[in-house]
Structure 1
Amino acid sequence: MIRFENVGLRYGMGPEVLSDLTFHLPPRSFHYLTGPSGAGKTTLLRLLFLSLKPTRGLITVFGKETTRFAKTELPQVRRRIGIVFQDFRLLDHLTTYQNVALPYRVLGRDESSYRADVIDLLKWVGLGERMHVLPPVLSGGEKQRAAIARALITKPELLLADEPTGNVDPPLARRLLRLFVELNRLGTAVLIATHDLALMDQYDARRLVLADGRMEIYE
């Protein structure tokens, strides 16, 4: 699904912030991405989401090298990837339901074709009673779950989550992890960027560890 070969990234003329990254993410796989703050986890997620280009090396996404994607192809490729940002990026003037349904609205889908799916997913993440509430009224954990639901609604082949449990208490973090595990069992590949060792101990998966811009892989 995703393959990195000797990938490096630098900004301008500065030193490389990521160096010699070589790994692959198979379909239906589950990985953690971890490492100290400033190690480059968010930068790596941006490379995976095709919002950054590497300085060197090759990245292959869904069987095609990213250098061969035309600009017009990128939106379609990104629709196959769900991403949960640390800052949620919910639109405050839209209800929870409308935020989660937004990817379908952008695609021009008629609401009758997705309304039931959005409601079912909101219930699945525990927001069935909050679907008509605006984001400023939601708690941090509720915003987190809304952002996750929005990333999942189009049934992506790959889900990238940047510190998805960073703003919630341990019981809710475990609940969210179970949600990701269930999603993976349904066929989506999952990559969770986290520094929460206790969370990773809850579910055994391959670990990609970044430190000083380089990666070690632990089975």
Structure 2
Amino acid sequence: MIRFENVGMRYGMGPEVLRDVSFHLAPASFHFLTGPSGAGKTSLLKLMFLANRPSRGLITMFGQDIATLPRAELPPLRRRIGVVFQEFRLLDHLTTYENVALPLKIQGKREGEYRADVEELLAWVGLGDRMNAKPPTLSGGEKQRAAIARAVVAQPEVLLADEPTGNVDPEMGQRLLRLFVELNRLGTSVLIATHDRALVESAGAPELVLRDGRLTIRG
């Protein structure tokens, strides 16, 4: 599904932040992405979300070489990927419910088809009583949970999550992990970037470990 072969990446004329990175994510796989701050985790996720292109090497996603893919063909690929950004990227003029339902609305679904599912998901992440609130009134943890719900609501083929439990307590972190595991059971490939060792150890999934821009696989 996603394959990196000897990928390098640099910003402008600076040094490489990723060096000779190679790995393969199979359909319905579950991995953690770990490593110290500044190791290149966010840069790797941006490549996988097609926000950046590599400086060298080969990246294939869904059978396509992204280096040669015309820009007009990137949005359809991105819609197959759910992403939880550290900065959340919620739309301030929409309610929590509307933010979470947005991927389904973009797919052309009618509200009657998805309203019950969105409400159930919001209740699961502890936002059942905040459905009509707008992002400026939400706490950091609430924004994070809304962003997670939005990323998973359409059951994407791939889920990329950047520190998804960074602003929640351990109990909610484990609850969110169960949500990711269930999504994976339904067929989504999941990659979670995290510093939370308790989260990693409780799941027992393989790790992609980044240090100084180089990747090794553990487990």
TM-score by length of 2: 0.95
Equivalences for residues 28-107 of structure 1 within 5 A: 28-107=28-107
TM-align CA RMSD:
1.4
The one-letter amino acid paired with 1:50 is: L
CA distance in 1, matches of 2:147, 2:138: 12
- Contact 2:54–2:67 (CA under 8 A) maintained in structure 1: no
Q: 2-side partners of 1:155 and 1:6: how far apart?
A: 30
Amino acid in the other structure paired with 1:126:
G
Cα distance in 2, alignment partners of residues 116 and 171 from structure 1: 25
User: Could you list the runs of 5+ residues in structure 2 that have no partner in the other structure?
Assistant: none
1:174-205: per-residue Cα shift (whole Å, max 9, x none)? 11111111111111110000011121111101
Task: Name the CA distance, whole Å, in 2 between partners of 1:13 and 1:144.
Answer: 34
Q: How far 1:73 moved relative to its partner?
A: 1.3
Q: Any conservation in 2 of the 1:141–1:172 contact (CA below 8 Å)?
A: no
SS of corresponding position for 2:148: helix
**Larger deviation: 198-207 or 121-130?**
121-130
The Cα shift of 1:107 comes to 4.3
Q: What's the CA shift for 1:153? A: 1.7
Does the residue aligned with 2:36 lie in a helix, a strand or coil?
Answer: coil
Following superposition, the deviation at residue 24 of structure 1 comes to 0.5
CA contact (8 A) 2:155 2:183 kept: no
Q: Give the Å deviation of 1:43.
A: 0.4
Counterpart position of 1:8: 8
Distance 1:185 1:156 in 2: 12
| % identical aligned pairs | 69
| Alignment gaps of 5+ in structure 1 | none
Residue matched to 2:146:
146
